[in-house]
Structure 1
Protein backbone atom coordinates (compact mmCIF):
# COMPACT_ATOMS: atom_id res chain seq x y z
CA UNK A 1 0.00 0.00 0.00
CA UNK A 2 1.40 3.40 -1.00
CA UNK A 3 1.48 6.15 1.63
CA UNK A 4 3.13 9.55 1.26
CA UNK A 5 6.06 8.35 3.41
CA UNK A 6 6.48 5.10 1.52
CA UNK A 7 4.86 1.68 1.11
CA UNK A 8 3.47 -0.19 4.11
CA UNK A 9 1.90 -3.62 4.55
CA UNK A 10 -1.88 -3.91 4.75
CA UNK A 11 -1.72 -5.02 8.38
CA UNK A 12 -0.05 -1.70 9.27
CA UNK A 13 -3.00 0.39 8.07
CA UNK A 14 -5.02 -0.11 11.24
CA UNK A 15 -8.14 2.05 11.44
CA UNK A 16 -8.86 3.62 8.05
CA UNK A 17 -10.82 6.80 7.38
CA UNK A 18 -11.24 5.96 3.70
CA UNK A 19 -12.54 9.25 2.29
CA UNK A 20 -11.25 12.45 3.91
CA UNK A 21 -9.46 15.68 2.99
CA UNK A 22 -6.42 17.44 4.38
CA UNK A 23 -7.42 20.57 2.47
CA UNK A 24 -9.84 20.56 -0.45
CA UNK A 25 -10.75 23.47 -2.69
CA UNK A 26 -11.89 24.15 -6.22
CA UNK A 27 -9.21 24.92 -8.85
CA UNK A 28 -7.77 28.37 -8.20
CA UNK A 29 -9.09 28.67 -4.66
CA UNK A 30 -5.56 28.72 -3.30
CA UNK A 31 -5.14 32.07 -5.07
CA UNK A 32 -8.24 33.69 -3.57
CA UNK A 33 -7.10 36.27 -1.02
CA UNK A 34 -10.21 35.89 1.10
CA UNK A 35 -9.55 32.27 2.00
CA UNK A 36 -5.83 31.96 1.34
CA UNK A 37 -4.06 30.53 4.40
CA UNK A 38 -0.45 30.60 5.47
CA UNK A 39 1.27 27.26 6.14
CA UNK A 40 1.19 28.13 9.84
CA UNK A 41 -2.58 28.59 9.80
CA UNK A 42 -3.11 25.29 7.96
CA UNK A 43 -0.90 23.42 10.43
CA UNK A 44 -2.71 25.01 13.36
CA UNK A 45 -6.07 23.82 12.03
CA UNK A 46 -4.95 20.37 10.92
CA UNK A 47 -2.41 18.92 13.35
CA UNK A 48 -4.72 18.73 16.41
CA UNK A 49 -7.38 16.92 14.36
CA UNK A 50 -4.90 14.34 13.07
CA UNK A 51 -3.34 13.82 16.50
CA UNK A 52 -6.77 13.19 17.97
CA UNK A 53 -7.52 10.78 15.12
CA UNK A 54 -4.26 8.94 15.87
CA UNK A 55 -5.17 8.67 19.54
CA UNK A 56 -8.66 7.35 18.78
CA UNK A 57 -7.24 4.81 16.33
CA UNK A 58 -4.70 3.18 18.61
CA UNK A 59 -7.00 0.36 19.83
CA UNK A 60 -7.43 -0.66 16.18
CA UNK A 61 -3.71 -0.80 15.40
CA UNK A 62 -3.00 2.73 14.32
CA UNK A 63 -4.37 5.47 12.02
CA UNK A 64 -4.68 5.74 8.23
CA UNK A 65 -6.18 8.80 6.54
CA UNK A 66 -7.02 8.50 2.84
CA UNK A 67 -6.95 11.94 1.26
CA UNK A 68 -9.54 12.19 -1.51
CA UNK A 69 -8.18 15.45 -2.92
CA UNK A 70 -7.31 14.89 -6.56
CA UNK A 71 -5.30 16.83 -9.10
CA UNK A 72 -6.35 20.54 -9.33
CA UNK A 73 -8.09 20.61 -5.94
CA UNK A 74 -5.37 21.73 -3.54
CA UNK A 75 -3.40 18.49 -3.25
CA UNK A 76 -0.10 19.27 -1.49
CA UNK A 77 1.94 16.11 -1.01
CA UNK A 78 4.99 17.71 0.64
CA UNK A 79 2.59 19.14 3.23
CA UNK A 80 1.02 15.69 3.68
CA UNK A 81 4.48 14.19 4.27
CA UNK A 82 5.19 16.75 6.96
CA UNK A 83 1.83 16.13 8.65
CA UNK A 84 2.32 12.36 8.56
CA UNK A 85 5.77 12.63 10.14
CA UNK A 86 4.49 15.05 12.78
CA UNK A 87 1.36 13.11 13.82
CA UNK A 88 2.11 9.46 13.07
CA UNK A 89 -0.93 9.18 10.80
CA UNK A 90 -0.43 7.19 7.59
CA UNK A 91 -1.67 9.43 4.77
CA UNK A 92 -2.64 8.00 1.38
CA UNK A 93 -2.63 10.49 -1.50
CA UNK A 94 -4.86 10.23 -4.57
CA UNK A 95 -4.28 10.74 -8.25
CA UNK A 96 -7.23 11.46 -10.54
CA UNK A 97 -9.93 14.12 -10.44
CA UNK A 98 -12.90 14.79 -8.17
CA UNK A 99 -15.00 15.26 -11.32
CA UNK A 100 -14.57 16.29 -14.89
CA UNK A 101 -15.63 19.83 -14.04
CA UNK A 102 -12.68 20.23 -11.66
CA UNK A 103 -10.09 19.28 -14.28
CA UNK A 104 -8.21 22.26 -15.61
CA UNK A 105 -8.35 22.78 -19.38
CA UNK A 106 -4.96 21.12 -19.96
CA UNK A 107 -6.28 17.83 -18.58
CA UNK A 108 -9.85 18.27 -19.82
CA UNK A 109 -8.63 18.29 -23.41
CA UNK A 110 -6.36 15.26 -22.97
CA UNK A 111 -7.11 11.86 -24.51
CA UNK A 112 -7.67 8.71 -22.46
CA UNK A 113 -4.15 7.43 -23.04
CA UNK A 114 -2.56 10.63 -21.72
CA UNK A 115 -4.75 10.62 -18.61
CA UNK A 116 -4.00 6.96 -18.00
CA UNK A 117 -0.25 7.61 -18.25
CA UNK A 118 -0.59 10.57 -15.86
CA UNK A 119 -2.27 8.36 -13.27
CA UNK A 120 0.21 5.51 -13.73
CA UNK A 121 3.15 7.88 -13.39
CA UNK A 122 1.83 9.28 -10.10
CA UNK A 123 1.28 5.75 -8.79
CA UNK A 124 4.56 4.18 -9.89
CA UNK A 125 7.08 7.05 -10.24
CA UNK A 126 5.76 9.82 -8.05
CA UNK A 127 3.56 12.90 -7.71
CA UNK A 128 5.54 15.82 -9.08
CA UNK A 129 8.98 15.91 -7.47
CA UNK A 130 7.77 14.75 -4.05
CA UNK A 131 8.95 11.16 -4.42
CA UNK A 132 5.59 10.03 -2.99
CA UNK A 133 3.38 7.54 -4.80
CA UNK A 134 -0.41 7.81 -5.07
CA UNK A 135 -2.28 4.93 -3.49
CA UNK A 136 -5.73 5.38 -5.00
CA UNK A 137 -7.41 6.93 -8.07
CA UNK A 138 -10.19 9.49 -7.72
CA UNK A 139 -12.93 9.86 -10.34
CA UNK A 140 -16.25 11.66 -10.24
CA UNK A 141 -19.52 12.74 -11.76
CA UNK A 142 -19.78 16.36 -12.90
CA UNK A 143 -22.45 18.67 -11.55
CA UNK A 144 -25.97 17.83 -12.62
CA UNK A 145 -25.72 14.17 -11.55
CA UNK A 146 -24.94 13.01 -15.08
CA UNK A 147 -21.78 11.51 -16.51
CA UNK A 148 -20.31 13.76 -19.19
CA UNK A 149 -17.94 12.78 -21.97
CA UNK A 150 -14.94 13.99 -19.95
CA UNK A 151 -16.04 12.03 -16.89
CA UNK A 152 -16.25 8.85 -18.95
CA UNK A 153 -12.83 9.54 -20.42
CA UNK A 154 -11.41 9.89 -16.91
CA UNK A 155 -13.20 6.72 -15.73
CA UNK A 156 -11.76 4.75 -18.63
CA UNK A 157 -8.25 6.08 -17.99
CA UNK A 158 -8.64 5.25 -14.30
CA UNK A 159 -9.78 1.69 -15.04
CA UNK A 160 -6.77 1.09 -17.27
CA UNK A 161 -4.40 2.58 -14.69
CA UNK A 162 -5.95 0.48 -11.93
CA UNK A 163 -5.44 -2.69 -13.95
CA UNK A 164 -1.82 -1.78 -14.71
CA UNK A 165 -0.86 -0.77 -11.16
CA UNK A 166 -3.20 -2.65 -8.84
CA UNK A 167 -4.46 0.42 -7.00
CA UNK A 168 -8.20 0.83 -6.37
CA UNK A 169 -10.60 3.57 -7.50
CA UNK A 170 -13.03 5.63 -5.51
CA UNK A 171 -15.72 7.83 -6.93
CA UNK A 172 -17.15 11.18 -6.00
CA UNK A 173 -20.87 10.39 -5.99
CA UNK A 174 -22.48 7.08 -6.87
CA UNK A 175 -25.14 8.55 -9.18
CA UNK A 176 -25.68 7.82 -12.88
CA UNK A 177 -23.76 4.63 -12.22
CA UNK A 178 -24.78 2.64 -15.30
CA UNK A 179 -22.32 4.37 -17.69
CA UNK A 180 -19.53 3.87 -15.17
CA UNK A 181 -20.38 0.19 -14.78
CA UNK A 182 -20.29 -0.17 -18.56
CA UNK A 183 -16.83 1.41 -18.78
CA UNK A 184 -15.44 -0.80 -16.02
CA UNK A 185 -16.93 -3.90 -17.66
CA UNK A 186 -15.48 -2.95 -21.06
CA UNK A 187 -12.05 -2.49 -19.50
CA UNK A 188 -12.26 -5.72 -17.50
CA UNK A 189 -11.91 -4.09 -14.07
CA UNK A 190 -13.47 -6.15 -11.24
CA UNK A 191 -15.96 -4.01 -9.33
CA UNK A 192 -14.52 -4.94 -5.95
CA UNK A 193 -11.71 -2.53 -6.91
CA UNK A 194 -14.17 0.36 -6.95
CA UNK A 195 -15.69 2.21 -4.01
CA UNK A 196 -18.77 4.13 -5.16
CA UNK A 197 -18.74 7.10 -2.82
CA UNK A 198 -21.21 9.47 -1.21
CA UNK A 199 -24.08 7.02 -1.65
CA UNK A 200 -25.37 8.33 1.66
CA UNK A 201 -25.54 12.08 1.08
CA UNK A 202 -28.83 13.91 1.03
CA UNK A 203 -28.83 15.01 -2.59
CA UNK A 204 -28.02 11.55 -4.00
CA UNK A 205 -31.00 9.73 -2.57
CA UNK A 206 -33.16 8.12 -5.26
CA UNK A 207 -30.32 8.46 -7.79
CA UNK A 208 -28.07 5.58 -6.65
CA UNK A 209 -28.57 2.15 -8.20
CA UNK A 210 -27.42 0.18 -5.16
CA UNK A 211 -28.61 -3.13 -6.60
CA UNK A 212 -26.40 -2.77 -9.68
CA UNK A 213 -23.34 -1.83 -7.62
CA UNK A 214 -23.76 -4.52 -4.99
CA UNK A 215 -24.90 -7.15 -7.47
CA UNK A 216 -21.76 -6.59 -9.52
CA UNK A 217 -19.51 -6.95 -6.48
CA UNK A 218 -18.80 -3.24 -6.06
CA UNK A 219 -18.34 -1.40 -2.79
CA UNK A 220 -20.56 1.38 -1.47
CA UNK A 221 -19.20 4.34 0.47
CA UNK A 222 -21.19 5.86 3.30
CA UNK A 223 -18.69 8.65 3.57
CA UNK A 224 -20.59 11.81 4.47
CA UNK A 225 -21.31 10.84 8.06
CA UNK A 226 -21.58 13.98 10.16
CA UNK A 227 -23.05 16.25 7.50
CA UNK A 228 -26.32 16.27 9.38
CA UNK A 229 -29.30 18.51 8.75
CA UNK A 230 -29.41 18.96 12.51
CA UNK A 231 -26.31 21.18 12.31
CA UNK A 232 -26.90 24.91 12.91
CA UNK A 233 -25.82 25.68 9.32
CA UNK A 234 -26.01 22.39 7.40
CA UNK A 235 -24.53 22.00 3.92
CA UNK A 236 -26.83 21.49 0.94
CA UNK A 237 -25.81 17.82 0.74
CA UNK A 238 -26.74 17.21 4.36
CA UNK A 239 -29.14 14.53 5.53
CA UNK A 240 -30.96 13.75 8.74
CA UNK A 241 -28.59 11.85 11.00
CA UNK A 242 -31.05 9.11 11.83
CA UNK A 243 -32.02 8.58 8.19
CA UNK A 244 -28.39 8.11 7.12
CA UNK A 245 -27.68 5.75 10.00
CA UNK A 246 -30.74 3.61 9.23
CA UNK A 247 -29.73 3.45 5.56
CA UNK A 248 -26.30 2.17 6.56
CA UNK A 249 -27.70 -0.32 9.06
CA UNK A 250 -30.09 -1.64 6.41
CA UNK A 251 -27.24 -2.62 4.10
CA UNK A 252 -25.30 -4.16 6.97
CA UNK A 253 -28.40 -6.06 8.07
CA UNK A 254 -29.00 -7.32 4.52
CA UNK A 255 -25.62 -9.02 4.55
CA UNK A 256 -23.54 -6.46 2.66
CA UNK A 257 -21.14 -5.68 5.49
CA UNK A 258 -18.10 -6.66 3.41
CA UNK A 259 -19.14 -4.24 0.64
CA UNK A 260 -19.60 -1.10 2.75
CA UNK A 261 -17.03 1.39 3.95
CA UNK A 262 -17.64 4.47 6.07
CA UNK A 263 -15.99 7.86 6.52
CA UNK A 264 -16.77 11.50 7.28
CA UNK A 265 -15.44 13.35 4.18
CA UNK A 266 -14.32 16.09 6.56
CA UNK A 267 -11.96 18.86 5.51
CA UNK A 268 -9.13 19.54 7.96
CA UNK A 269 -8.35 22.99 6.54
CA UNK A 270 -10.65 23.98 3.66
CA UNK A 271 -9.39 26.03 0.72
CA UNK A 272 -11.64 28.68 -0.79
CA UNK A 273 -14.63 28.00 1.45
CA UNK A 274 -15.21 28.02 5.22
CA UNK A 275 -16.01 24.33 5.54
CA UNK A 276 -18.60 22.97 7.96
CA UNK A 277 -17.90 24.21 11.46
CA UNK A 278 -17.12 21.51 14.00
CA UNK A 279 -17.15 18.62 11.52
CA UNK A 280 -13.91 16.61 11.53
CA UNK A 281 -12.69 13.10 10.80
CA UNK A 282 -13.11 12.42 14.51
CA UNK A 283 -16.91 12.40 14.11
CA UNK A 284 -16.36 8.73 13.29
CA UNK A 285 -15.26 8.03 16.85
CA UNK A 286 -17.22 10.69 18.67
CA UNK A 287 -20.62 9.98 17.13
CA UNK A 288 -20.77 7.26 14.48
CA UNK A 289 -19.22 4.35 16.34
CA UNK A 290 -21.25 5.08 19.52
CA UNK A 291 -24.38 5.22 17.33
CA UNK A 292 -23.52 1.83 15.81
CA UNK A 293 -22.85 0.33 19.23
CA UNK A 294 -26.14 1.68 20.54
CA UNK A 295 -27.90 -0.04 17.63
CA UNK A 296 -26.35 -3.39 18.60
CA UNK A 297 -23.56 -3.54 16.02
CA UNK A 298 -20.85 -5.68 17.60
CA UNK A 299 -17.15 -4.87 17.78
CA UNK A 300 -16.26 -7.54 15.23
CA UNK A 301 -18.50 -5.87 12.64
CA UNK A 302 -17.13 -2.41 13.44
CA UNK A 303 -13.64 -3.84 12.98
CA UNK A 304 -14.61 -5.25 9.58
CA UNK A 305 -16.02 -1.92 8.42
CA UNK A 306 -13.07 0.24 9.47
CA UNK A 307 -10.09 -2.12 9.44
CA UNK A 308 -10.62 -5.31 7.43
CA UNK A 309 -12.69 -3.94 4.54
CA UNK A 310 -10.50 -0.91 3.77
CA UNK A 311 -7.30 -2.95 4.08
CA UNK A 312 -8.67 -5.41 1.53
CA UNK A 313 -9.76 -2.56 -0.72
CA UNK A 314 -6.53 -0.56 -0.53
CA UNK A 315 -4.14 -3.48 -0.96
CA UNK A 316 -2.48 -3.39 -4.37
CA UNK A 317 -3.64 -6.31 -6.50
CA UNK A 318 -1.73 -8.14 -9.18
CA UNK A 319 -3.23 -9.64 -12.31
Structure 2
Protein backbone atom coordinates (compact mmCIF):
# COMPACT_ATOMS: atom_id res chain seq x y z
CA UNK A 1 0.00 0.00 0.00
CA UNK A 2 1.34 3.44 -0.92
CA UNK A 3 1.71 5.51 2.22
CA UNK A 4 2.90 8.88 3.48
CA UNK A 5 4.30 9.70 6.92
CA UNK A 6 2.21 12.28 8.79
CA UNK A 7 2.70 13.48 12.36
CA UNK A 8 -0.21 11.30 13.51
CA UNK A 9 1.11 8.24 11.68
CA UNK A 10 1.28 6.87 8.15
CA UNK A 11 -1.76 7.36 5.93
CA UNK A 12 -2.56 5.98 2.47
CA UNK A 13 -1.48 8.41 -0.24
CA UNK A 14 -4.99 8.27 -1.65
CA UNK A 15 -6.29 9.87 1.57
CA UNK A 16 -4.13 13.01 1.42
CA UNK A 17 -6.69 14.93 -0.61
CA UNK A 18 -5.78 18.48 -1.64
CA UNK A 19 -2.14 19.07 -0.67
CA UNK A 20 -0.35 22.33 0.14
CA UNK A 21 3.12 20.92 -0.47
CA UNK A 22 5.40 23.74 0.73
CA UNK A 23 4.15 25.53 3.83
CA UNK A 24 5.10 26.46 7.40
CA UNK A 25 3.22 26.25 10.67
CA UNK A 26 5.86 28.66 11.92
CA UNK A 27 9.33 29.43 10.59
CA UNK A 28 12.11 31.37 12.29
CA UNK A 29 15.87 31.64 12.28
CA UNK A 30 17.93 30.12 15.11
CA UNK A 31 17.72 32.44 18.10
CA UNK A 32 14.44 34.00 16.98
CA UNK A 33 12.96 33.25 20.40
CA UNK A 34 15.25 35.99 21.76
CA UNK A 35 13.53 38.68 19.68
CA UNK A 36 11.36 40.51 22.20
CA UNK A 37 9.51 42.50 19.50
CA UNK A 38 8.17 39.68 17.38
CA UNK A 39 8.30 36.54 19.54
CA UNK A 40 4.82 35.23 20.48
CA UNK A 41 3.61 33.00 23.28
CA UNK A 42 2.40 29.47 22.45
CA UNK A 43 -1.15 30.66 23.14
CA UNK A 44 -0.82 33.50 20.61
CA UNK A 45 0.60 31.19 17.96
CA UNK A 46 -2.17 28.66 18.53
CA UNK A 47 -4.83 31.37 18.26
CA UNK A 48 -3.36 32.53 14.93
CA UNK A 49 -2.83 29.08 13.47
CA UNK A 50 -5.95 27.06 14.23
CA UNK A 51 -8.38 29.34 12.30
CA UNK A 52 -6.13 29.22 9.20
CA UNK A 53 -5.94 25.43 9.24
CA UNK A 54 -9.66 25.14 9.91
CA UNK A 55 -10.39 27.42 6.97
CA UNK A 56 -8.02 25.34 4.84
CA UNK A 57 -10.04 22.27 5.83
CA UNK A 58 -13.35 24.01 5.13
CA UNK A 59 -12.12 24.91 1.65
CA UNK A 60 -11.39 21.25 0.98
CA UNK A 61 -7.74 21.11 2.01
CA UNK A 62 -6.53 17.74 3.20
CA UNK A 63 -2.79 17.88 3.82
CA UNK A 64 -0.37 20.59 4.92
CA UNK A 65 3.32 19.83 4.35
CA UNK A 66 5.41 21.72 6.89
CA UNK A 67 8.93 22.19 5.52
CA UNK A 68 10.35 23.97 8.56
CA UNK A 69 13.70 22.26 8.96
CA UNK A 70 15.86 21.39 11.94
CA UNK A 71 16.92 24.58 13.81
CA UNK A 72 14.11 26.69 12.33
CA UNK A 73 11.32 26.20 14.84
CA UNK A 74 10.07 22.72 13.97
CA UNK A 75 7.76 21.59 16.80
CA UNK A 76 6.26 18.19 16.10
CA UNK A 77 4.26 17.81 19.31
CA UNK A 78 2.59 21.11 18.41
CA UNK A 79 1.89 19.85 14.89
CA UNK A 80 0.27 16.73 16.34
CA UNK A 81 -2.05 18.87 18.45
CA UNK A 82 -2.95 21.06 15.47
CA UNK A 83 -3.64 18.06 13.25
CA UNK A 84 -5.90 16.44 15.85
CA UNK A 85 -7.69 19.75 16.45
CA UNK A 86 -8.35 20.67 12.82
CA UNK A 87 -8.51 17.35 10.94
CA UNK A 88 -5.74 18.44 8.56
CA UNK A 89 -2.99 15.91 7.86
CA UNK A 90 0.38 17.50 8.65
CA UNK A 91 3.59 16.15 7.16
CA UNK A 92 6.78 17.13 8.99
CA UNK A 93 10.24 17.24 7.47
CA UNK A 94 13.77 16.37 8.39
CA UNK A 95 16.72 18.29 6.95
CA UNK A 96 17.60 21.97 6.79
CA UNK A 97 16.23 25.00 4.96
CA UNK A 98 19.86 25.76 4.05
CA UNK A 99 23.32 25.17 5.41
CA UNK A 100 23.40 28.70 6.75
CA UNK A 101 20.51 27.89 9.12
CA UNK A 102 22.26 24.87 10.64
CA UNK A 103 23.60 25.40 14.12
CA UNK A 104 27.33 24.61 14.65
CA UNK A 105 26.68 21.07 15.91
CA UNK A 106 25.22 20.17 12.52
CA UNK A 107 27.38 22.51 10.46
CA UNK A 108 30.47 20.60 11.62
CA UNK A 109 28.91 17.18 11.09
CA UNK A 110 30.01 14.63 8.52
CA UNK A 111 27.86 13.34 5.69
CA UNK A 112 27.55 10.03 7.55
CA UNK A 113 26.32 11.73 10.73
CA UNK A 114 23.78 13.86 8.87
CA UNK A 115 22.56 10.84 6.93
CA UNK A 116 22.02 8.88 10.14
CA UNK A 117 20.14 11.84 11.62
CA UNK A 118 17.81 12.04 8.62
CA UNK A 119 17.24 8.28 8.44
CA UNK A 120 16.47 8.10 12.16
CA UNK A 121 13.87 10.87 11.90
CA UNK A 122 12.24 9.12 8.94
CA UNK A 123 12.24 5.55 10.23
CA UNK A 124 12.19 5.89 14.04
CA UNK A 125 10.92 9.37 14.81
CA UNK A 126 11.73 13.02 15.44
CA UNK A 127 13.03 13.36 18.99
CA UNK A 128 10.72 11.56 21.38
CA UNK A 129 7.52 12.49 19.53
CA UNK A 130 7.08 9.13 17.84
CA UNK A 131 6.28 10.99 14.61
CA UNK A 132 8.24 10.19 11.48
CA UNK A 133 9.34 12.73 8.89
CA UNK A 134 7.65 12.44 5.52
CA UNK A 135 10.00 14.56 3.41
CA UNK A 136 13.60 15.78 3.50
CA UNK A 137 14.30 19.51 3.19
CA UNK A 138 17.54 20.84 1.69
CA UNK A 139 18.52 24.28 0.47
CA UNK A 140 21.01 26.72 -0.98
CA UNK A 141 22.67 29.15 1.42
CA UNK A 142 22.58 32.91 0.97
CA UNK A 143 24.46 34.09 -2.07
CA UNK A 144 22.81 31.76 -4.56
CA UNK A 145 25.60 29.19 -4.77
CA UNK A 146 25.82 25.89 -2.94
CA UNK A 147 28.40 25.93 -0.16
CA UNK A 148 30.45 22.92 0.92
CA UNK A 149 28.07 22.51 3.86
CA UNK A 150 25.08 22.61 1.50
CA UNK A 151 26.71 19.88 -0.57
CA UNK A 152 27.27 17.68 2.50
CA UNK A 153 23.64 18.10 3.46
CA UNK A 154 22.48 17.31 -0.07
CA UNK A 155 24.60 14.17 -0.20
CA UNK A 156 23.36 13.00 3.20
CA UNK A 157 19.79 13.73 2.11
CA UNK A 158 20.22 11.84 -1.16
CA UNK A 159 21.51 8.78 0.69
CA UNK A 160 18.64 8.99 3.17
CA UNK A 161 16.10 9.29 0.34
CA UNK A 162 17.53 6.20 -1.38
CA UNK A 163 17.56 4.24 1.90
CA UNK A 164 14.07 5.20 3.10
CA UNK A 165 12.09 6.00 -0.05
CA UNK A 166 11.10 9.45 1.25
CA UNK A 167 11.39 12.33 -1.28
CA UNK A 168 13.48 15.51 -1.17
CA UNK A 169 12.12 19.05 -1.40
CA UNK A 170 14.54 21.92 -1.99
CA UNK A 171 14.46 25.50 -0.81
CA UNK A 172 15.40 27.34 -4.02
CA UNK A 173 16.04 25.80 -7.42
CA UNK A 174 19.02 27.99 -8.30
CA UNK A 175 22.49 26.49 -8.79
CA UNK A 176 20.94 23.05 -9.37
CA UNK A 177 23.85 21.55 -11.32
CA UNK A 178 25.88 20.54 -8.23
CA UNK A 179 22.71 19.21 -6.61
CA UNK A 180 21.76 17.11 -9.61
CA UNK A 181 25.31 15.76 -9.84
CA UNK A 182 25.12 14.67 -6.19
CA UNK A 183 21.70 13.07 -6.65
CA UNK A 184 22.89 11.16 -9.70
CA UNK A 185 26.08 10.01 -7.96
CA UNK A 186 23.99 8.68 -5.07
CA UNK A 187 21.53 6.90 -7.37
CA UNK A 188 18.49 9.03 -6.57
CA UNK A 189 16.03 9.38 -9.48
CA UNK A 190 15.19 13.05 -10.02
CA UNK A 191 11.44 12.48 -9.99
CA UNK A 192 11.96 12.06 -6.23
CA UNK A 193 13.13 15.68 -6.00
CA UNK A 194 10.96 18.80 -6.01
CA UNK A 195 13.04 21.88 -6.87
CA UNK A 196 11.29 24.63 -4.95
CA UNK A 197 10.81 28.40 -5.20
CA UNK A 198 11.26 28.32 -8.95
CA UNK A 199 8.73 31.13 -9.23
CA UNK A 200 9.82 33.87 -6.84
CA UNK A 201 10.96 37.27 -8.07
CA UNK A 202 14.76 37.10 -7.65
CA UNK A 203 15.17 33.43 -8.54
CA UNK A 204 12.73 32.67 -11.36
CA UNK A 205 15.10 34.14 -14.01
CA UNK A 206 17.95 31.98 -12.66
CA UNK A 207 16.11 28.67 -12.55
CA UNK A 208 16.85 26.38 -15.54
CA UNK A 209 13.37 24.89 -15.77
CA UNK A 210 13.85 23.00 -19.00
CA UNK A 211 17.17 21.53 -17.86
CA UNK A 212 15.53 20.22 -14.67
CA UNK A 213 12.49 18.90 -16.52
CA UNK A 214 14.66 17.10 -19.07
CA UNK A 215 16.39 15.21 -16.25
CA UNK A 216 13.12 14.15 -14.70
CA UNK A 217 12.99 16.62 -11.80
CA UNK A 218 9.87 18.29 -10.49
CA UNK A 219 9.44 22.07 -10.23
CA UNK A 220 7.68 23.85 -7.39
CA UNK A 221 5.87 27.13 -7.97
CA UNK A 222 5.45 27.54 -4.25
CA UNK A 223 5.53 31.25 -3.48
CA UNK A 224 2.08 32.00 -4.89
CA UNK A 225 0.62 34.99 -3.08
CA UNK A 226 3.84 36.88 -2.50
CA UNK A 227 2.89 39.61 -4.89
CA UNK A 228 4.22 43.07 -5.62
CA UNK A 229 0.61 44.21 -5.27
CA UNK A 230 0.73 43.61 -1.50
CA UNK A 231 0.76 46.70 0.71
CA UNK A 232 4.22 45.77 2.02
CA UNK A 233 5.65 43.16 -0.38
CA UNK A 234 8.74 41.15 0.59
CA UNK A 235 11.88 41.26 -1.53
CA UNK A 236 10.99 37.94 -3.15
CA UNK A 237 7.61 39.20 -4.37
CA UNK A 238 6.57 39.07 -8.01
CA UNK A 239 3.68 40.56 -9.99
CA UNK A 240 0.63 38.33 -9.70
CA UNK A 241 -0.09 38.17 -13.42
CA UNK A 242 3.55 37.57 -14.32
CA UNK A 243 3.85 34.54 -12.02
CA UNK A 244 0.54 33.10 -13.18
CA UNK A 245 1.46 33.43 -16.86
CA UNK A 246 4.85 31.85 -16.20
CA UNK A 247 3.18 28.91 -14.47
CA UNK A 248 0.57 28.47 -17.19
CA UNK A 249 3.25 28.54 -19.88
CA UNK A 250 4.88 25.47 -18.32
CA UNK A 251 1.52 23.71 -18.04
CA UNK A 252 0.80 24.40 -21.70
CA UNK A 253 4.27 23.23 -22.71
CA UNK A 254 3.43 19.75 -21.44
CA UNK A 255 5.08 19.79 -18.02
CA UNK A 256 1.92 19.28 -15.96
CA UNK A 257 3.11 15.95 -14.51
CA UNK A 258 6.23 17.61 -13.10
CA UNK A 259 4.65 20.72 -11.55
CA UNK A 260 3.46 21.36 -8.01
CA UNK A 261 2.18 24.56 -6.41
CA UNK A 262 1.94 26.03 -2.93
CA UNK A 263 2.01 29.34 -1.04
CA UNK A 264 4.98 29.01 1.37
CA UNK A 265 2.94 30.90 3.96
CA UNK A 266 3.55 31.03 7.71
CA UNK A 267 0.59 30.36 9.96
CA UNK A 268 2.38 32.18 12.78
CA UNK A 269 5.94 33.37 12.06
CA UNK A 270 8.59 32.86 14.73
CA UNK A 271 10.52 35.97 15.73
CA UNK A 272 9.73 38.03 12.63
CA UNK A 273 6.60 39.81 11.41
CA UNK A 274 5.86 37.63 8.40
CA UNK A 275 3.92 38.98 5.43
CA UNK A 276 0.57 40.44 6.38
CA UNK A 277 -2.43 39.11 4.53
CA UNK A 278 -0.75 36.03 3.10
CA UNK A 279 -1.88 32.55 4.20
CA UNK A 280 -2.06 29.02 2.84
CA UNK A 281 -5.66 29.78 1.89
CA UNK A 282 -4.45 31.97 -0.95
CA UNK A 283 -4.45 28.69 -2.89
CA UNK A 284 -8.23 28.37 -2.63
CA UNK A 285 -9.24 32.00 -2.42
CA UNK A 286 -7.06 33.47 -5.18
CA UNK A 287 -4.95 30.99 -7.13
CA UNK A 288 -7.61 28.47 -8.09
CA UNK A 289 -10.02 31.24 -9.19
CA UNK A 290 -7.16 32.71 -11.27
CA UNK A 291 -6.52 29.31 -12.85
CA UNK A 292 -10.20 28.84 -13.65
CA UNK A 293 -10.44 32.33 -15.12
CA UNK A 294 -7.50 31.39 -17.35
CA UNK A 295 -9.40 28.35 -18.66
CA UNK A 296 -7.76 25.65 -16.54
CA UNK A 297 -10.16 22.74 -16.03
CA UNK A 298 -10.87 20.81 -12.85
CA UNK A 299 -8.92 17.77 -14.01
CA UNK A 300 -5.76 19.89 -14.27
CA UNK A 301 -6.35 21.46 -10.85
CA UNK A 302 -6.80 17.98 -9.38
CA UNK A 303 -3.59 16.87 -11.05
CA UNK A 304 -1.65 19.79 -9.56
CA UNK A 305 -2.95 19.62 -6.00
CA UNK A 306 -4.03 16.01 -5.47
CA UNK A 307 -2.42 13.56 -7.86
CA UNK A 308 1.07 15.05 -8.27
CA UNK A 309 1.66 15.64 -4.53
CA UNK A 310 0.40 12.17 -3.64
CA UNK A 311 2.76 10.63 -6.17
CA UNK A 312 5.66 12.77 -4.93
CA UNK A 313 5.09 12.15 -1.19
CA UNK A 314 4.49 8.41 -1.45
CA UNK A 315 7.24 6.42 0.23
CA UNK A 316 9.07 4.27 -2.31
CA UNK A 317 10.07 1.17 -0.37
**Smaller-chain TM-score bracket:** over 0.9
Is the contact between residue 30 and residue 74 of structure 1 (CA under 8 Å) also seen in structure 2?
no
The question of 1:52 aligning with 2:55 is answered yes
**C-alpha distance in 1 between matches for 2:251 and 2:205:** 19
**C-alpha distance in 2 between matches for 1:113 and 1:103:** 16
Is the contact between residue 39 and residue 272 of structure 2 (CA under 8 Å) also seen in structure 1?
no
Show the counterpart of 2:207.
208
| 1:5-84 matched pairs, under 5 angstroms | 5-57=8-60, 63-84=62-83
Is the contact between residue 146 and residue 176 of structure 1 (CA under 8 Å) also seen in structure 2?
yes
| 1:147-162 matched pairs, under 5 angstroms | 147-162=146-161
The question of 1:220 aligning with 2:219 is answered yes
RMSD value, Cα: 0.6
Show the counterpart of 2:284.
285
Show the counterpart of 1:3.
6
- Divergent runs of 4+, >4 A: none
| 1:67-106 matched pairs, under 5 angstroms | 67-106=66-105
**C-alpha distance in 2 between matches for 1:205 and 1:298:** 25
**C-alpha distance in 1 between matches for 2:136 and 2:99:** 14
**C-alpha distance in 1 between matches for 2:47 and 2:141:** 33
Structure 2 runs not aligned, ≥5 long: none
TM-score (structure 1 length as normaliser): 0.98
Show the counterpart of 2:258.
259
- Per-residue deviation, 1:39: 1.2
Shifted more, 24-33 versus 190-199: the winner is 24-33
Show the counterpart of 1:123.
122
Secondary structure of the corresponding residue to residue 181 of structure 1: helix
Secondary structure of the corresponding residue to residue 302 of structure 1: helix
- Per-residue deviation, 1:31: 2.8
Aligned length: 314
- Per-residue deviation, 1:32: 2.1
**C-alpha distance in 1 between matches for 2:95 and 2:297:** 36
- Per-residue deviation, 1:206: 2.0
Show the counterpart of 1:272.
271
Is the contact between residue 54 and residue 88 of structure 1 (CA under 8 Å) also seen in structure 2?
yes
Show the counterpart of 1:303.
302
- Per-residue deviation, 1:207: 1.1
Show the counterpart of 1:171.
170
